[in-house]
Amino acid sequence: MLPFSFEWVWDAGHIVFMGGLWYSLSILGMGMTYCVIKTIIDINSNDQTENDHH
């Protein structure tokens, strides 16, 4: 449920529960995104290094 959903109410229950859920999902999502982006950068820099050696 998001704040634009018709069921949403701006009370502590919704903010704490749904905020906690989205907060956790954001950490996991951002963590995995970081890993994937870092991996692509690492691979590219490795390729670059190998090309430089050649």
Q: Which residues lie near another protein (CB under 8 A)?
A: 1, 5, 7, 13-14, 16-18, 20-21, 24-25, 27-28, 31-32, 34-36, 38-40, 42-43, 46
User: What is the chain's Cα-based Rg?
Assistant: 20
Neighbouring residues of 14: CB distance < 8 A, sequence distance ≥ 6: 1, 8
Q: State which residue, 27 or 48, has the beta carbon closest to another protein.
A: 27
* Distance in Å, CB of 38 to another protein, minimum: 5
Q: State which residue, 7 or 52, has the beta carbon closest to another protein.
A: 7
| SS (HEC) of 7-21 | CCCCCHHHHHHHHHH
